[in-house]
Amino acid sequence: DAGVIQSPRHEVTEMGQEVTLRCKPISGHNSLFWYRQTMMRGLELLIYFNNNVPIDDSGMPEDRFSAKMPNASFSTLKIQPSEPRDSAVYFCASGQGQSYEQYFGPGTRLTVT
Amino acid sequence: GEDVEQSLFLSVREGDSSVINCTYTDSSSTYLYWYKQEPGAGLQLLTYIFSNMDMKQDQRLTVLLNKKDKHLSLRIADTQTGDSAIYFCAETGGSYIPTFGRGTSLIVHP
């Protein structure tokens, strides 16, 4: 298996633009997590899906952030409009059933200027 | 909310043992984890321990859990330059959602 796949790996955009980050979880995994990592705040959980349904989105910073999981093999995290303070590394992770282990993707480094 | 605390940096000489410490507040923690993050990569699970255990050993890695003091440690024997990375402590209670510490940057000097 290729592991969790994220795209793009790097994204540089201007303030106000829409940004879409993509994630393909490991086949057979039914849990998906989006995290944000910054020096200031560490690793923050943004949203968690189980069987494609959002279970906990309490970590989503504000209405500018939205996440979808239209099927078991794909998820997006969208920021509209983007702001410089959104600059971070965004990770997607997937997990399986009752296992607590999470498998992380390589991350997307987002820079908003 | 629940909290996981780690020191931010640890510097050791190659060949020495490294001990990375972590404290947590959730008394209902079921699983405790150590993840490793290398530069430019995502987190990778190194090892985990059930809360009813006090020690787990896996090759060069030894995890010690003091549940009374809510203290978790990771010992890396014979530390190598390839062990340089950020190490995250994490815990889960009754849900799938882990609480992560801020990470400890391990720097290994030749």
Give A2-44 pLDDT, tens digit per residue.
899 999 999 999 999 999 999 999 999 999 999 999 988 889 9
Three-state DSSP class for B49?
Answer: strand
Decide if A31 touches B, using CB distance below 8 A.
Answer: yes
Decide if B40 touches A, using CB distance below 8 A.
Answer: yes
Query: What's the pLDDT score for residue B1?
Result: 56
Out of A48, A56, A100, the one facing B31 most closely (by C-beta) is A100
Q: Which amino acid is at B12?
A: V
Q: How far apart are CA A103 and CA A55, in angstroms?
A: 18
Out of B31, B96, B101, the one facing A31 most closely (by C-beta) is B96
Sort out which chain B residues have CB atoms less than 8 A from A50's CB and list them.
96
Give B27-70 pLDDT, tens digit per residue.
787 889 999 999 989 999 999 998 888 999 999 999 999 999 99
Decide if A25 touches B, using CB distance below 8 A.
Answer: no
Query: What's the pLDDT score for residue A20?
Result: 98
- Which residue spans within chain B are E strands per DSSP? 4-6, 9-13, 18-24, 31-37, 43-50, 55-58, 61-66, 71-76, 85-92, 99-100, 104-109
